[in-house]
Structures are given as C-alpha cells and as structure tokens.
Amino acid sequence: MNGPLLYARSRALPGAIAAPPAIALLLAWSASRPDGASWDPGFGLPMEAICPMLAAAVIGTSLYAYADELDRTAVRAWWPRRLTHLLVLTALAATALALAAASGTTCTGASVMARNTVGTVGATAVSAVLVGARLSWLPVTAYLGTAFIAARTAGGAGATVWAWPVQPDRETAAWVTAAALFAAGAALHAYRGPRPDRF
C-alpha cells in the first residue's frame, strides 16, 4: 500500500469525504419540511448551525494522527499534507452544503451556509491543536449552541463578531471572523498538527 493510500486510511478519509454529501442531503430534506430550516421549531436551532457543526465534527476527527511521533520525526515535512487535507475537506463540505441550501426553499442562504462551514471547520481545527482531534467537536458545539441562544437577546456591533454564525450574509464582520477562524485553524494545524490523544 503506497503513501497516499496509507494516509487516507489512517485518517479515515473515505468516511470524511462521504459525510458532507450525506449532510447536504439532510439539509435538503429539512428544507422540504413544513417548518423550514429549523430542526426543532420549539428550540429554534437552525440547520445553518447543525449542518456545519456536523461537517466540522467529521473533519475534526479525521485530523487525528495515530502515530504523531512518526509525523514529528519524518524526513519530509508534514505541514503540506495536513494543510491539503484540511483545505480539500473544507472545500467539499462548504460546496456541498451551499449547493443544498441554494436548491431548497430554506431561509438559509448558500453564502451563509458556506461561511458558517468555513468558520466552524477553522474553529474545529484550532480545537484539534488545543484539545486533540477526537474532542475537537466539543468546544465548537458548545460555542455554536451558546451563540445561537444568546444572540436572540444580544445586540450591538460586537454581536456581529462573537455571534458571527447567526448574522446575515451582508455582515462583513461575520465574514471576516469566519475567515480569520479558518486561517488560524489551518495555520495552527498545518504547523503543529493535532494534540496527541492519550486515551
């Protein structure tokens, strides 16, 4: 088995590649429901939070390195592989979810779905460096849930930054925040790799 196939198998890439289209189908199904884009109308957590969160969780867990000691002592630098891995999966997830949002009758626009996916994946990559790939979804899930709940009563210019997933596509600050999160996550992950998991 050659290097690329070993890398893909060790990072569970087949599943990570198959997940975004499956999540996009979930989004398309939810858009056809009478209650629109909300998974639970009583709670109000919309698909623009759930779908990027699911995609980011799958991508985050695929960043796990089974032999981080080998990665650190390899002759060739690993940062191009790590960066390519993250960029390809993010592009796939953002494109699939944006197309699903654009094809439905949901209030979630394609650009908002793409922005939220990019920003959420970036935050997950930062979490993978700080807490490990297997738990990288946990801080991001907690943050997104808090942001969507707190943004109902919060206001002011600062909300466009800390509650960026809730903002409409015309909010420049939300786009800048999502892009900055992704840039930070991609740079940190490419340079450091995920924190070794010891359990």
pLDDT tens-place string over residues 26-53: 888 776 665 554 444 444 457 788 899 9
Instruction: Quote the CA–CA distance of 27 and 106 in Å, as a whole number.
Output: 9
- The phi, psi pair for 38, rounded to 5°, reads -95, 125
Contact 192, 68 (CB under 8 A): no
How would you write the pLDDT of the chain (199 residues) with one tens digit per residue? 566 777 777 777 888 999 999 999 888 877 666 555 444 444 445 778 889 999 999 999 999 877 665 566 665 778 888 999 999 999 999 999 999 888 765 556 889 999 999 999 999 999 999 999 999 999 999 999 888 888 767 666 677 888 899 888 888 999 999 999 999 999 999 998 898 876 5
Instruction: Quote the CA–CA distance of 136 and 115 in Å, as a whole number.
Output: 19
User: Identity (one letter) of the amino acid at 120?
Assistant: T
- pLDDT score, position 115: 95
Instruction: Quote the CA–CA distance of 110 and 102 in Å, as a whole number.
Output: 5
Q: List the one residue out of 82, 20, 84 whose CA is nearest residue 53.
A: 20
- pLDDT score, position 125: 97
User: Identity (one letter) of the amino acid at 117?
Assistant: T
Six-digit token string for 6: 């070993």
What is the domain partition of the chain in residue ranges? 3-192
Contact 147, 154 (CB under 8 A): no
The secondary structure of 147-175, three-state, reads HHHHCCCCCCCCHHHHCHHHCCCCCHHHH
- pLDDT score, position 40: 46
